[in-house]
Amino acid sequence: MPLSSGLPWRICAHAISGAWVGPCGAPNPKGVQVFISSFVEDDRVSLKDELETFLEHLETTHKFDWALGERDLPTGVPSRFLDIYPAGIVDKYDSFGLIYVRLWLVGSNPQKIISGIFLGAARAEQAEPRRAAAYLRSRLNDIFDPLERERGFQYKNWGDADIWWREEGMSVRAVSRQLEQFMTYRAAEPTDENIQRITDDVATLVRAIDSAIEQLEPIREFGKDILLLYYGQNLPAATGDDGFIEGASNNEAREIQQNVLDDKVDWFSSLPPVPDLGDLKGMQSAYEKLVAALAAGKHVLLMGAPGVGKTELAETVCRLIPQPYDVVTATSDWTSVHTIGGYMPVPQAEGDAEPLDFIPGVFTEAMAANKWLVIDEMNRADIDKAFGEMFTLLGGKWKSIMLPYRKRQEDGSYKRVVLGKANTQDGDAHVYPLDPSWRLIGTMNTFDKASLFQMSFAFSRRVAVIEIAIPNEADYRQIIATGAAVLLGEDNSLHDAVLNILSSIFAVESGVGLGRLGLRVGPAIPLDIIRFIERMRRFETDPASLVLVGLESYLFPQFEGRHEQTADIAAAIATALGWPALPQESLNRLSTFTGAVD
């Protein structure tokens, strides 16, 4: 049972940044007890006395009460919390959609206090806290902005949160979702040197809540909207900047919201149900999943073996919409400077000076131009290093980030660089806007074992992951046969032999070739080999030799890091070629790529 004080307290409603002070801005007098230590030590008697002493020296427009609670997290880790909430507004402060201050003590080694503004609700689902957070943060931007810019608070969803109490094999998803009810928070260890800072944070947060209530009157109606929103029964429409329609009934809000959504995804309804995918045979299912995910507001990661047509499918969909897009290829050298931007010297029209200025990266340029971005071979990059602050923007359309850069203006002045939605009121921001319809489509080669470890969970949970399957054997044979038509002539013996060899290596799902090893690749690779053979036959006439040269150039590089399968790969290819074994020279080339070289 929560332990409530039943006592009102008054908190000064002046500027919400800086250390807490007494009434009318008076300095913190000697003898005022810091209650954080008693909370950490679970000394409830001392906590009550010290908290009341603390409250006596603060003032607020509204009455506040406090309550204690505790529970074991779904991970089995014990936790305790102290809630400071505006009293007399709703009957049950923690389940009605009210916002309040929560201090949450979690973990043991280390032990930390999460202090922040909490959104009351009776349960934690996966999507609803984020939806409610976006609405609330848009309504209270001028409250959250100084907290986050001046005192280091921040909003994070459960995929980003620093879960320091996690142990190996422990699932933290359920409890981490509850972190999304923190509209903004910061975590700190309750050490002697941090106690005063945490205490100052509490005073700052209570002042913020006090100001928020003034802005959200009538609070009961706001609480109802938040609660309905949280449970998915009411979706306030996004009109203008605040994402809410004042005075609209629930039914009106739902109708307007649906109209807004219909406008945003109008391209979806105009797409043909059975599109012309050209050479992408057998990709109808993947196409349907991709366009549905994009229309539903998600960024997409296409996963599959090399050559299945991941990038081609992404480009085809963009053209069918139609939607302007850019294609870039990720590299291991990518940093946030390449993707988001950074300072670069800029030559001037007059003089030799080259002052530094912020130059946008590939993400920022595409985002500002509302050109969708297709990132090929995404797992070649260190995603955490390359994406940087983009993780925040990928999490939702209401998000925005301020970069540690300034952009030179035409008049010679500099403004702070903001990506997404401007959240400053003073005009001192150079904004690279993020349209809600903007999408990122990445491709990832599941064959590339050496780079898979770089795909972070923080990224993968922000996208819809769609696997692009290799065509079935019948479709695969037809694709190869269509491509091999370029080899037809007066004597079709070369055509027939090449078609038979390539089909046995690539198309057969089991028993022979790559299918026996579970290493099938997409049809783009045998089609490249066919085009190579069509030219190479001027210098070589033996079908098996021609295919082998093509395999060395187009297939062998795909086996990077598969040194343990070198012998099996060589045997399967030799069998398909009708040879007892690969020539030593070819085996050496294969070993170079697989890493089996001594």
Position 230 scores a pLDDT of 46
Q: Which of 146-160, 213-227, 527-541, 582-596 has the lowest mean pLDDT?
A: 213-227
| 231-240, 258-267, 371-380: segment of lowest average pLDDT | 231-240
Q: Which of 20-34, 106-120, 225-239 has the highest mean pLDDT?
A: 106-120
Most confident of 107-111, 457-461, 488-492: 488-492
**Alpha carbon distance 411, 177 (integer Å):** 46
The residue type at 146 = P
Q: If you average pLDDT over each of 3-7, 97-101, 297-301, which comes out highest? A: 297-301
User: For 552, what's the count of Cα atoms within 13 Å in the CB-facing half-sphere?
Assistant: 18
Q: What number is the average pLDDT over the span 166-177?
A: 56
Higher pLDDT, 266 or 259: 266
Task: List CB contacts of 411: < 8 A, sequence separation 6 or more.
Answer: none
What confidence tens digit (pLDDT) does each residue in 447-459 have? 764 554 456 666 7
Residue 186 has pLDDT above 80, yes or no: yes
In this predicted structure, what is the pLDDT of residue 73?
67
Neighbours of 98 (CB within 10 A): 25
pTM: 0.56
Residue 247: is its pLDDT beyond 70? no
Angle at 176 between CA 171 and CA 178, to 5 degrees: 135
- The Cα 298–Cα 390 span in angstroms is 14
Confidence at residue 3, expressed as pLDDT on a 0 to 100 scale? 41
Q: What is the pLDDT of residue 14?
A: 32
Residue 239: pLDDT above 50?
Answer: no
pLDDT in tens, 328-339: 999 888 888 999
Between the ranges 28-32, 133-137, 400-404, 415-419, where is the mean pLDDT highest?
Answer: 415-419
Find the mean pLDDT for residues 133-142. 74
Interacting residues of 98 by C-beta distance below 8 A, sequence separation 6+? 85, 86, 89, 90, 120, 219, 223
| pLDDT tens-digit map of 366-384 | 988 889 999 998 888 888 7
Higher pLDDT, 8 or 152: 152
Residue 177 has pLDDT above 80, yes or no: no
pLDDT given at position 170: 57
- Residue 126 predicted with pLDDT over 90: no
Alpha helices by DSSP H, listed for 353-505, are: 362-368, 383-387, 390-394, 457-460, 473-483, 493-502
Question: Percent of the chain beyond pLDDT 90?
Answer: 30
Q: pLDDT tens digit string along 415-444?
A: 989 888 655 445 688 888 888 889 999 999
> Is there a contact between 9 and 58 (Cβ–Cβ < 8 Å)?
yes
The confidence score (pLDDT) of residue 246 equals 35
Nearest to 436 by CA among 184, 241, 183: 241
Q: Is 274 exposed, middle or buried (0-12, 13-18, 19+ CB in 10 A)?
A: exposed
Helix locations, 405-492, DSSP H: 457-460, 473-483
Output phi, psi for 67, to 5 deg: -150, 150
Helix (H, G, I), strand (E, B) or coil at 230: helix
pLDDT band at 235 (very low <50, low <70, confident <90, very high): very low
Asked if pLDDT for residue 279 goes beyond 50, the answer is yes
Which range has the top average pLDDT, 234-248, 255-269, 394-408? 394-408
Q: What whole-number distance in Å separates Cα of residue 329 and Cα of residue 532? A: 24
Residue 208 has pLDDT above 70, yes or no: yes
Predicted local confidence at residue 121, as pLDDT: 63
| Tokens found for residue 161 | 């949160």
The pLDDT, as a whole number, for residue 176 is: 58
Residue 79 reports pLDDT greater than 70: yes
The answer to whether the beta carbons of residues 495 and 489 sit under 8 Å apart is: yes
Question: Residue with structure tokens 């395999």?
Answer: 551
Distance, CA of 358 to CA of 338 (rounded, Å)? 12
As a whole-number percent, the residues of the chain with pLDDT over 70 amount to 73
Name which residue leads in pLDDT, 264 or 83.
83
Compare 114 and 219 and report the one with higher pLDDT: 114
The pLDDT assigned to 398 comes to 58
Residue 452 backbone dihedrals phi, psi, to 5 degrees: -60, -30
| Higher per-residue confidence, 120 vs 95 | 120
Q: Residue 62 corresponds to which tokens in the numbers above?
A: 């509204």
CB atoms within 10 A of CB 128: 18
Give yes or no for a contact between 335 and 350, defined as CB atoms under 8 angstroms apart: no
Quote the tokens at residue 126.
Answer: 């996966």
Instruction: Using the structure block, give the residue that is written with the tokens 């709703």.
Output: 90
| pLDDT mean over 12-26 | 37
- Res 585 pLDDT > 90: yes
15-24, 46-55, 299-308, 554-563: segment of lowest average pLDDT = 15-24
Burial profile 63-94: b = 16 or more Cβ within 10 angstroms, e = fewer: ebbbbbeeeebbbebebbbbbbbbbebbeebb
**Structure confidence at residue 467 (pLDDT):** 92
